[in-house]
Structure 1
Amino acid sequence: MAKYDKADLERRMAGAVEALKHDLSGLRTGRANVALLDPVTVEVYGAHMALNTVATVSAPEPRMLSVQVWDRSNVGLVDKAIRSAGLGLNPIVDGQNIRLPIPDLTEERRKDLAKLASQYAEKAKIAVRNVRRDGMDNLKTDEKKGEISEDERKRLETEVQKMTDSTIAEIDVAAQAKEKEILGK
């Protein structure tokens, strides 16, 4: 059984927060954000590649994304990949450049995206609680083995709980900020 390791617990909790922030960055808010195209993969040269490996993505205007495809022969494939990604975007091909106007979000779509942000946050909280449970189990095991005293176990359990509470608070702040951004409040 693993021994209690505070640094490992902190790293794993921070990892859950980073994963949440990455998930939230992909949610569309009505403003152009290059992270919006992160999930898009293009089938080129006989392999599936991330869009940013075959093109440069930029946001030249608040409501426009620009995709500069490096190899002219891939423009059609990139266009097709963006259309089939289910992002609700209509690419406009202009030579080797593809422009993506970002449409306004409907109120219904905003609510759906806000719900999705909440689901991402809940998933991150569950991950953090699992890390806490692992830490608590390790402390109990260490106490049974006689490696730490009961008082030391209780002190460390309080430390783990404080770490958990602060991480969950961080998750709540990130999710609330994203929901506000999505709902335009």
Structure 2
Amino acid sequence: MPKYDKADVERRMAGAVESLRGDLGGLRTGRANTALLDPVVVEVYGSMMPLNQVATVSAPESRMLSVQVWDKANISAVEKGISKANLGLNPMTDGQTLRLPMPDLNEERRKELAKLAGTYAEKAKIAIRNVRRDANEALKEDEKKKEISEDERKRLEEEVQKMTDKHVEETDAVTAAKEKEILTQ
């Protein structure tokens, strides 16, 4: 049974890009984005729960997030959770709804966020290259076990390299779009 699995390599590389998209979605730009509150956890009912399990998050305006808390008893816990997340947001309570106006970003903060986006991109590229390395090692092992020929190994290594290049390009494109969004809002 060959160790190399093209579908698995493709899935893992695509997973690195998706993870990057999630990381970049959490970066706060001037525009309201519900993904910004994804990392927020709230202490309710004696345990820590993700915010989306105790409230509905929406973006009714381009510069405002709205958090509709389902249980009135959890409003202060949700408020605390948002404050603890250090997102730079100040919740304003309005009945069972918390309103979160998006503050303007100064130039220095924009540059920090763009740099952070670059750091996330580099982590994704490293993950993609690690998948490539694992795939190439599996191919060499398959060749050593005489399951594939040397020519077949070389052809498959080129295929792995093409997948790597495609996912690195996608990583660059996603990051460039996010950096542009950060720097021009």
Matched, 1:175 2:175: yes
SS at match of 1:28: coil
1:106 partner letter: N
Instruction: Report the number of matched residues.
Output: 185
Give 1:126's aligned residue: 126
Give 2:101's aligned residue: 101
SS at match of 2:19: helix
Report how far residue 177 of structure 1 moved.
0.4
Where does 1:36-185 land on structure 2 (aligned, <5 Å)? 36-184=36-184
Matched, 1:21 2:18: no
In the superposition, relative to structure 1, how do residues 138 and 82 fare at CA in structure 2: closer, same or farther (>3 Å)? Answer: same
1:152 partner letter: E
In the superposition, relative to structure 1, how do residues 44 and 141 fare at CA in structure 2: closer, same or farther (>3 Å)? Answer: same
CA distance in 2, matches of 1:127, 1:136: 14
Report how far residue 80 of structure 1 moved.
1.2
Asked if the contact 2:20–2:124 (Cα under 8 Å) also holds between the matched residues in 1, the reply is: yes
1:42 partner letter: V
CA distance in 1, matches of 2:61, 2:179: 23
Report how far residue 2 of structure 1 moved.
6.7
SS at match of 1:49: strand
Report how far residue 128 of structure 1 moved.
0.4
CA distance in 2, matches of 1:70, 1:141: 55
CA distance in 2, matches of 1:96, 1:119: 38
Identity %: 72
Structure 2 unmatched runs, 5+: none
2:87 partner letter: L
2:50 partner letter: A
Which 4+ runs in 1 deviate beyond 4 A? none
TM-score, length-scaled by structure 1: 0.98
1:128 partner letter: I
Report how far residue 70 of structure 1 moved.
0.7
2:149 partner letter: S
CA distance in 2, matches of 1:24, 1:176: 11
1:74 partner letter: N
SS at match of 1:161: helix
Give 2:3's aligned residue: 3
CA distance in 2, matches of 1:72, 1:29: 30
Report how far residue 15 of structure 1 moved.
0.6
Matched, 1:31 2:37: no
CA distance in 2, matches of 1:48, 1:2: 44
Task: Provide the alpha-carbon RMSD of the alignment.
Answer: 1.2
